[in-house]
Structure 1
Amino acid sequence: MIRKKLILFIIAMMVAFLAACGNGGESTSGEEEDGKTTLKFYTWINEENGNWEETIKAFEEAHPDIKIDLKVLVENMSSDDYLQKLDLDAAAGEKIDVLMTSSSEHLSKRVSAGMIEPIDTYLENEGINVEEVYNMAASSASSDGSYYGLPSKYNTYLIMLNKNHLDDAGLEVPTEWTWEEYKDYANELTTNDRYGSYLHTWSTFYHVLKVLGKADENLLIKADGSSNMDDPTIAESLKLRYELEQEDKSSEPYANIISQQLNYRQQFFSEQASMTPISSYMVTEWGGFNPEFPIAWAPWPKNNEGDPSYAFSSADVMSIGNNSDHKEEAYEFIRWMTTEGMLVQNKSIPAWTETDLKEVLTNLASTTSNPDAVDVESLQYTIENSVPTEQFLPAGYMTEVYNAYNAEAERYLLGEQDLDTTMENAKNSVEDVIDANK
């Protein structure tokens, strides 16, 4: 392992050296000959899903001294692939003025690597209360009292349902429910042609379903960096998934998903599954599908009958690169982009609190190929009646923690070991990751 890390370090240094030789040792954002400041803006979101041409044009018209150089690093809309290329660019010495991350784990890792500029000074100079202007619970963009970005797209975790399938089964769109009731719905919705439920492969989401419905965001590790693996809802989450797939036969088996490389969009929009836990970004991101059935939305199921309707939330966060030569201008861009720019872009629900939610949702639906497919009423109700969980910026090694956990969780879901063995092994593996990073 040490030898592998040494080789990777040497490769990274060689890449940085060659890049320096090729550009005189420095990659700058640069000034245009006409006096405009050019900002390099890095993202994984393509034109179809970002409406960048119209959005950037609007910004540049309102800020004539700033030009945006858009860098869409991937074509497949994969934030993981994007981050790999972004990290390579950073290692090669590229100047990064503005960058986006899609989760608190991804943000935290770049903060730990020194890639992100804190924005506290800029917020103080502007005199804004960031907690009032934005739904910061969605972003976890603060750590030790500092902020490392502003949230743009607001994502509430919820359940996406095929309304026609509900009607055929005589089921109402839930306004509040438990995971036991979710299981009942999955059974009622399952037919010879489809599963009632679909759970994808993400260990940060589909392996911790019940953990995501708690008041606080102590997932696999706590805010103080200690293990949270004794939390009973972790084991209960895995058991819930196993029961849906292996006992009730109402959800696509995990083995099928990984062997056939199934995708949640494909399964839901081709009507191979009636419902799936997902995030509210799916209001417009249909991945090229054109559903002819109405899409209904329900709150995240409760762990216990008397609980509030807690829902984990997340956001795409826009941050300033630590090596940017134009940080003031970069801050100006992310402030505009996460407020007025979100309305111009009209592709997702903003984390900006000064918006009319119904108007936003109606406008978003109008941009889709079939506006009638979006049940705006149930989506609005779900968002407005979900209680955001408290969150914190996790440790920079959170991805390693999830990888360790997932290795054991997969063995359980594939029937290779029982739940007790799985949790014992997972607990030890997570502890090893924590100890290695102290």
Structure 2
Amino acid sequence: MKRNWFMLMISVLLVLVLAACGNKEEANSSSKEKSEDVTLKFYTWINEENGNWNKTVEAFEKEHPGIKVDVNVLVENMNSADYLKKLDLIAASGDTIDVMMLSNSRYLSQRVSTGMIEPLNKYFDDEKLKVEEEYDMSVVPPSAEGEYFGLPGKFNKYLIMLNKDHLDKAGLPVPTDWTWDEYKEYAKKLTTEDTFGSYLHTWPHHHHTMKLLSQTEGTQLLKEDGSSNMDDDMVKASLKLRYELENEDKSSVPYTNTISQKLDYRQMFFSQKASMVPIASYMVTEWGGFTPEFNITWAPWPKNSESDSLNAFSTADIMSVGKKSEHKDEAYKFIRWLTTEGMLVQNKSIPAWKQIDLNEVLKNLAANTIKPEAVDIEALSYVLENSISSKQFLPASYLTEAYNAFNVEAELYLLGEQDLETTVKKAKQSVQAVIDANQK
């Protein structure tokens, strides 16, 4: 009897031990499954309204179980320069950056030089990806060593955004091939008591160098080897063009008004205070909450002379993997998806992905705006298809520094505080000082 009781107790204990082991294995298995879920920290300056992140990330996570994406919008004002300051602080503090978004190759180059960005060639090779066939990589050129450090998402081609109603009222056709001299004439004819014909923002790399950007190559203040491009005649001609528009023709918003009143290009265009804005194609959807009570059309970036080809500087929002990320494979999967299928899910911008039907994309983008009927799809499509993207290269890491130095002198000229010759001479010296300091 005692023996039977003893055997019964042993059996019960064995059952309890086995059950405990089973529960432990199940718990370990569950813990392991949870630990296999990777969460990527993704940083951007684009807000939910303009990025459609919730819907986009949800679609990615559904297609890629086990990978989660934590979207971090670092600024409220959609200002990429302010965003970069915060991004750099995060990197300096050692916090995780798995995926980061950059608005052009200048900003990319700066962060490549500080060791923030993972090169992607290895991932291309593993995937057997012919990246030049998949994307328009003119906007994310490789380094001199042939290394790529990002994939292009939103494709931005420079063009002119125009108020179609103002054109019609002035009896002016939508330009399809024009020069900066003709832009000046349009600006004069579009200027009224209530409206300026043109608005130029404070960007030194856009609106201080407009004629430089009309060239096939040599569109920036530095050359490919990092030396100065300030001897290009179009640097001086660009400054002169802006000064004449604002101070002589009085057909473009004065620079002093722009900086003293902290004016914004969206505000000026959509409130109909300005009829034309040289800008990029991202503006097809980024209306900043405005509902335009007029029709919007588009013209190519003007040429310097009649005989020139129809060129356009192009940029892209660049998706890069953080060098210190512990989940680089998953981060690469995310940027590959986001720059292809994800762009169509997001439905907020024109992709640099070549596998698209441009007209279909434009129709879908317009349908996603506050007032789809306001967008002249035919004109926008014409500009995008007929403007030739200028040749680009991954610039020296100090290009932004060079533009900042140039801007100091350019502003003095635009504000009437020094003449053009003095401005160009001093700007050349300032840019060369930046080069010398960085090439030691």
Per the normalisation by structure 1, the TM-score is 0.92
Which structure is larger by alpha-carbon Rg, 1 or 2? 2
Q: Which residue of 1 aligns with 2:370?
A: 369
Distance 2:33 2:82 in 1: 30
Contact (CA 8 Å) 2:158, 2:312: kept in 1 or not?
A: yes
Contact (CA 8 Å) 2:115, 2:323: kept in 1 or not?
A: yes
Q: Which residue of 2 aligns with 1:236?
A: 237
Distance 2:93 2:144 in 1: 27
Q: Which residue of 1 aligns with 2:329?
A: 328
Contact (CA 8 Å) 2:105, 2:139: kept in 1 or not?
A: no
Post-superposition shift, 1:143? Answer: 4.4
Give 5+ residue unaligned stretches, structure 1.
1-30
Post-superposition shift, 1:218? Answer: 4.1
Secondary structure, counterpart of 1:176 in structure 2: coil
Post-superposition shift, 1:140? Answer: 3.2
**Paired residue type of 1:215:** T
Contact (CA 8 Å) 2:292, 2:371: kept in 1 or not?
A: yes
Q: Which residue of 1 aligns with 2:305?
A: 304
Residue 408 of structure 2 corresponds to residue 430 of structure 1: no
Residue 90 of structure 2 corresponds to residue 86 of structure 1: no
Q: Which residue of 1 aligns with 2:6?
A: none
- Stretch of structure 1 that moved more, 31-40 or 167-176: 31-40
Distance 1:56 1:342 in 2: 11
Distance 1:363 1:230 in 2: 44
Aligned length: 408
Secondary structure, counterpart of 1:152 in structure 2: strand
Contact (CA 8 Å) 1:141, 1:317: kept in 2 or not?
A: no
Alpha-carbon displacement from aligned partner over 1:201-230 (angstroms, at most 9, x marks no partner): 110100000011101144111001111110
Distance 2:416 2:222 in 1: 26
Q: Which residue of 2 aligns with 1:153?
A: 154
Structure 2 counterparts to residues 16-415 of structure 1, below 5 A: 33=34, 35-140=36-141, 142-415=143-416
Give 5+ residue unaligned stretches, structure 2.
1-31
Distance 1:38 1:127 in 2: 26
Contact (CA 8 Å) 2:197, 2:275: kept in 1 or not?
A: yes
Mark the CA change 1:141 to 1:40 in structure 2 (over 3 Å): closer, same or farther.
farther
**Paired residue type of 2:302:** P
- Stretch of structure 1 that moved more, 165-174 or 122-131: 122-131
Alpha-carbon displacement from aligned partner over 1:293-341 (angstroms, at most 9, x marks no partner): 1100000000110111100000000000000011111111100000000
Secondary structure, counterpart of 2:208 in structure 1: coil
Contact (CA 8 Å) 1:108, 1:395: kept in 2 or not?
A: yes
Distance 1:43 1:329 in 2: 18
Alpha-carbon displacement from aligned partner over 1:212-267 (angstroms, at most 9, x marks no partner): 11011441110011111100000000000001111111101101111111111111
Contact (CA 8 Å) 2:218, 2:229: kept in 1 or not?
A: no
Post-superposition shift, 1:32? Answer: 7.7
**Paired residue type of 1:158:** L
Contact (CA 8 Å) 1:154, 1:349: kept in 2 or not?
A: yes
**Paired residue type of 1:368:** T
Contact (CA 8 Å) 1:155, 1:349: kept in 2 or not?
A: yes
Distance 1:416 1:317 in 2: 38
Post-superposition shift, 1:387? Answer: 0.2
Identity of aligned residues (%): 64
Distance 1:329 1:104 in 2: 23
Secondary structure, counterpart of 2:89 in structure 1: helix
Distance 1:199 1:143 in 2: 34
Post-superposition shift, 1:397? Answer: 1.1
Secondary structure, counterpart of 1:147 in structure 2: coil
Distance 1:159 1:331 in 2: 35
